[in-house]
């Protein structure tokens, strides 16, 4: 009777590829020895298949039974483990119908997802001093990594393809091919938090945000219609294959390095990225039985420079602006609990992997981890944002830009980088191109003064000002404005008149 019921359910559910007939109990494939499970106050959600029909699955942590879930009609059992403080190692086993499977060396800590395109996929072995970075990771036994295999699918699946099962970093090929940004972010963070860190890499080079967005997220924004082809660029295919299956795992947060593939349609991206973040948060929350926060921290890398050119004012600059939901900084009222690393001052035109792949991932990871400490971990007195303009004042052919309400001392490294848009009146709508250089003519501890004499003659009113609005705005760490104490670059901004 029960067997018949399960068979029937399986026949019905098979169309959604969600059915397990194998009797032997097991964990879903991303629960493995050496893994990190999310620590208290959250409860780690785990699931698996093969519980014997009509019998419970006994779940044991370090010899203590913590639950006896029943497998459902599709052969799936699941349980929320007791909220467990950071640390370990622990053994977690499940037993059903005489079969026991054990995960050993399991730590409780914070689980981070690392996703995006090729700059997240960029491998540790492609870093100049990668050997010392790997050694540094190996000195942190609380740091664990795993990688999903690339998988583009038309429909969601219950389990991902595993590229690298959970492991400690080591001098091995799988660590060497692990994400440089993901690993170095963890190394940097581990110097400032005590809990174990579990890093899950799930990325695919050259892919647009649409591929990582569920149909729900896509429906929230206007879309750029693409020609249909079976490839990883299709809407939702990577969400289906590389995000949806891990939604049930309780996680702490996500970092994201993506956007180059959307630079051709930057005006759509602000909506798209906000929709994707909201949707991931809602779906991780729901699939983990509310254990993953529905406002979990989300960090991203604002696009780095690309080509060694000047005068490329569209594409990357617009995309960087869109990445912040057009505020210029994060977190902000639209992107709450979001943090970023500014990278537009880290060109590497000589990169053997192409200018689109700068090798300077350590700077990116350090900036991102600093912001994570301030935003994701709420550590006090972390100055994690570069200076941002708060006030503009005009006298004659001078425009003064004050940063952070006068609260941050700035360092000025070059006079170039600001531009103004000139119009007949302040209501002139500034175009993407055709701006005029407005060099820094002087500065105080907390403001810069721009020479706007480029706006002369018939159209002499300054109708807009922008900063670092170039694909590749400056030489390495030589943009115009930085925090004096932090060495963090002021992010790009654009501002239309009025300036009061």
Ligand X SMILES: *[C@@H]1O[C@H](CO)[C@@H](O)[C@H](O)[C@H]1NC(C)=O
Q: Which residues bind ligand X (CB under 6 A)?
A: 23, 52-53, 62, 90-91, 97-98, 104, 129, 132-133, 136, 154, 172-173, 228, 230, 290, 294, 308, 349-350, 362
Instruction: Give 98: exposed, middle or buried? Use CB within 10 Å, 0-12, 13-18, 19+.
Output: exposed
254: which strand partners? 113, 298
Closest CB to ligand X among residues 290, 379: 290
Q: What angle do CA 207, 208, 209 make, to 5 degrees?
A: 125
CB-based contact 450:423 (threshold 8 Å): no
Closest CB to ligand X among residues 92, 438: 92
Residues 6+ away with beta carbon under 8 Å from 500: 392, 393
Q: Could you count the other beta carbons within 10 Å of the beta carbon of residue 103?
A: 21
Query: Cis before residue 41, ω within 30 degrees of 0?
Result: yes
Closest CB to ligand X among residues 285, 443: 285
Closest CB to ligand X among residues 2, 445: 2
Nearest distance in Å: CB 305, ligand X: 11
Structure tokens at 137: 């990771």
Closest CB to ligand X among residues 95, 119: 95
Closest CB to ligand X among residues 102, 267: 102
Nearest distance in Å: CB 63, ligand X: 6
Closest CB to ligand X among residues 90, 168: 90
Nearest distance in Å: CB 145, ligand X: 16
Closest CB to ligand X among residues 272, 355: 355
Nearest distance in Å: CB 488, ligand X: 16
- Residue among 90, 111, 89, 92 at smallest CA distance from 101: 92
Residues 6+ away with beta carbon under 8 Å from 93: 59, 60, 100, 101, 102, 103
Determine the length of the chain.
500
Closest CB to ligand X among residues 241, 315: 241
Nearest distance in Å: CB 313, ligand X: 17
Closest CB to ligand X among residues 308, 427: 308
Nearest distance in Å: CB 163, ligand X: 13
Closest CB to ligand X among residues 111, 180: 180
Instruction: Give 349: exposed, middle or buried? Use CB within 10 Å, 0-12, 13-18, 19+.
Output: middle
Nearest distance in Å: CB 450, ligand X: 25
Closest CB to ligand X among residues 404, 470: 470
Strand 45-49 to 26-27 pairing: antiparallel
* Helix 180-190 vs helix 130-138: crossing angle, to nearest 10: 50
Nearest distance in Å: CB 23, ligand X: 3
Nearest distance in Å: CB 104, ligand X: 5
Nearest distance in Å: CB 228, ligand X: 5
Nearest distance in Å: CB 308, ligand X: 4
Nearest distance in Å: CB 91, ligand X: 4
Structure tokens at 410: 């700035």
Structure tokens at 5: 């019921």
Q: HSE of 277 in the Cβ direction (CA atoms, 13 Å)?
A: 27
The span from the CA of 9 to the CA of 109, in Å, is 37
């Amino acid at each position: 009777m029960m067997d018949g019921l399960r068979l029937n359910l399986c026949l019905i559910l098979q169309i959604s590829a969600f059915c397990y007939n194998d009797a032997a109990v097991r964990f879903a494939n991303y629960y493995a020895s050496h893994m990190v499970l999310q620590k208290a106050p959250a409860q780690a959600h785990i699931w698996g298949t093969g519980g014997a029909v009509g019998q419970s699955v006994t779940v044991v942590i370090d010899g203590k039974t913590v639950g006896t879930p029943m497998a459902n009609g599709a052969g799936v059992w699941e349980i929320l483990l007791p909220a467990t403080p950071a640390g370990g190692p622990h053994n977690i086993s499940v037993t059903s119908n005489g079969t026991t499977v054990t995960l050993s060396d399991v730590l409780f800590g914070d689980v981070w997802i690392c996703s995006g395109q090729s700059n997240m996929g960029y491998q540790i072995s492609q870093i100049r001093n990668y050997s010392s970075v790997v050694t540094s990771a190996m000195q942190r036994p609380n740091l664990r990594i795993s990688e999903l295999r690339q998988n583009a699918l038309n429909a969601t699946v219950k389990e991902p393809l595993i590229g690298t099962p959970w492991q400690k970093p080591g001098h091995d090929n799988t660590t060497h091919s692990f994400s440089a940004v993901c690993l170095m972010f963890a190394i940097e963070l581990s110097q400032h938090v005590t809990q174990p860190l579990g890093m899950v890499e799930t990325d695919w080079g050259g892919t647009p945000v649409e591929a990582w967005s569920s149909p729900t997220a896509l429906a929230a924004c206007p879309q750029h219609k693409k020609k249909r082809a079976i490839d990883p660029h299709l809407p939702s295919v990577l969400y289906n294959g590389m995000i949806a299956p891990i939604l049930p795992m309780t996680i702490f947060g996500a970092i994201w390095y993506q956007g180059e593939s959307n630079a051709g349609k930057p005006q759509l991206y602000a909506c798209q990225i906000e929709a994707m973040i909201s949707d991931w948060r809602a779906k991780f929350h729901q699939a983990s039985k509310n254990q993953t926060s529905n406002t979990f921290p989300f960090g991203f890398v604002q696009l780095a420079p690309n080509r060694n050119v000047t005068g490329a004012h569209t594409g990357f600059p617009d995309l960087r602006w869109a990445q912040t939901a057009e505020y210029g900084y994060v977190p902000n009222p639209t992107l709450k609990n979001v943090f970023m690393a500014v990278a537009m001052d880290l060109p590497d035109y000589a990169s053997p992997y192409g200018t689109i792949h700068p090798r300077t991932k350590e700077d990116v990871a350090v900036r991102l981890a600093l912001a994570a400490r301030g935003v994701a971990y709420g550590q006090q007195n972390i100055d994690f944002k570069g200076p941002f303009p708060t006030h503009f004042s005009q006298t004659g052919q001078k425009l003064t830009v004050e940063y952070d309400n006068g609260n941050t001392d700035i360092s000025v490294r070059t006079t170039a980088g600001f531009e103004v848009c000139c119009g007949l009146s302040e209501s002139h709508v500034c175009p993407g191109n055709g701006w005029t250089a407005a060099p820094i003519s002087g500065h105080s501890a907390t403001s810069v003064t721009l020479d706007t004499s480029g706006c002369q003659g018939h159209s002499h009113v300054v109708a807009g000002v922008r900063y670092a609005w170039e694909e590749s705005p400056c030489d390495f760490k030589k943009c115009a404005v930085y925090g004096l104490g932090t060495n963090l670059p002021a992010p790009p901004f654009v501002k239309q008149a009025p300036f009061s």
